[in-house]
Amino acid sequence: MAKLRIGREVLKSALERAVLSESERAGIERLLSGAVAKGPITTEVTHLPQACLKALLDDSRLSPNRRAVIVMHVHGMSSVVGPQREYVYNTTVANPVEFGSSFAMLGAKTRNTELFVNGRWYPITLNVQFLNDTREGNYLSKGELLHGTLSLCETAFGFSR
């Protein structure tokens, strides 16, 4: 199973936002107390409750790889052959953060969607940037920005939404 290494303060922040049962909260407290007093926590992604994982996705401090591990577990995707595009495209999401987290599973180096221009479909690369409110140390994602690149011949056209 996938291991997750996450900052202690990021995990504690997610715990404050997550709705957990007493047994789930006690399990995470044991995890925190069993680790080194300072520094990141390393655990199996299956050892964290779903509510905690969903709260972690709201934090913009997660790296794309950590976010991908969490999204794959939350949405039940298998990591054997990489994300299944149709599954990602058909995933139902509740808010912009879930959309960005799910869409990030498609990767940012290869063409991951298409754009209709002048009567033709062109393969493009879309990247997700998480926007956050950093006032008073708040790192919750408030929205996403999609950056697209359409490459025609030797020219690249960029756009954002």
16 or 89: which carries more pLDDT confidence? 16
Q: Is the distance from CB of 124 to CB of 148 less than 8 angstroms?
A: yes
Mean of pLDDT values over 105-124: 78
* pLDDT computed for residue 43 by the predictor: 85
The listed range with the strongest mean pLDDT (72-76, 97-101, 156-160) is 156-160
Q: What are phi and psi of 91, to 5 degrees?
A: -70, 130
DSSP SS3 for 126: strand
Mean of pLDDT values over 81-108: 75
Exposed (0-12), middle (13-18) or buried (19+): which is 106, by Cβ within 10 Å? buried
Q: Rounded to whole angstroms, how far apart are CA atoms 130 and 48?
A: 23
32 or 140: which carries more pLDDT confidence? 32
Q: What are phi and psi of 103, to 5 degrees?
A: -65, -30
Q: Is the distance from CB of 124 to CB of 115 less than 8 angstroms?
A: yes
* Of 81, 37, 31, nearest in space to 52 by CA: 31
Is pTM beyond 0.85 here?
A: no
